[in-house]
Amino acid sequence: MAYQVSRSKHIKDVLELCDEDGNVVQTLDIDIDADVICTQYRKRQIEIINAERQLKEVQRNGLQSDIDAAFFAYGNAVKEIFLLVFGEENTKIIIDFYNGQYIEMSVQLVPYIYNVIAPALEDALKRRKAQVKSAYKRKF
């Protein structure tokens, strides 16, 4: 009997970008190797959370220049997580689709990342931990 090994499954999805009337303008194939991005994903997620906190704080009691800087930091954090999750080519398509409107873009796509991609990443991590655990027959 042969010993078998296999590559881990990628997270695959299709994202449709639609115009104001609901017509599909662009279809993006999403293909994520969870093993590759998990560590960086968490780092990017924390950057978005921190940028959101900074933005709320500055909006409460900041100067206009502080608000502009906070919006820039938030937009950059969103762009970085998009690059990680969607890849460079798809991120460019998304940014072009939204004409650089990072707030509208994040309102539409951050929930997709949190509600679809993040749970898939968590499942992939759980599967990987179980594989490692069973391969070495000890608890980690």
What is d(CA 93, CA 26) in angstroms, rounded to the nearest whole number? 8
pLDDT above 60 (res 94): yes
Residue 52 lies in a domain: yes
- Over pLDDT 70: what percentage of the chain? 95
Decide: helix, strand or coil at residue 21: coil
Average pLDDT, the chain: 87
Domains contained in the chain, number: 1
Q: How confident is the model at residue 43, as a pLDDT? A: 92
Residue 57 lies in a domain: yes
- Over pLDDT 90: what percentage of the chain? 42
Of the two residues 1 and 110, the one the predictor is more confident about is 110
Residue 68 lies in a domain: yes
Q: What ranges in 1-140 are assigned the alpha helix state H? A: 34-61, 64-97, 102-112, 118-136
Residue 13 lies in a domain: no
Instruction: Please compute the mean of the pLDDT values over residues 13-20 and round it to a whole number.
Output: 94
Residue 83 lies in a domain: yes
Instruction: Report if pTM > 0.85.
Output: no
Query: pLDDT (tens digit, 9 = 90+) per residue, 30-83?
Result: 999 988 888 899 899 899 899 989 988 888 886 777 888 888 888 889 889 999
Query: pLDDT (tens digit, 9 = 90+) per residue, 115-125?
Result: 999 998 888 88
For residue 137, the 8-state DSSP code is: T
**Structural domain span for residue 40:** 36-99
Residue 56 lies in a domain: yes
Q: How confident is the model at residue 24, as a pLDDT? A: 96
Q: How confident is the model at residue 69, as a pLDDT? A: 86
Residue 124 lies in a domain: no
Residue 63 lies in a domain: yes
Amino acid at 120: A
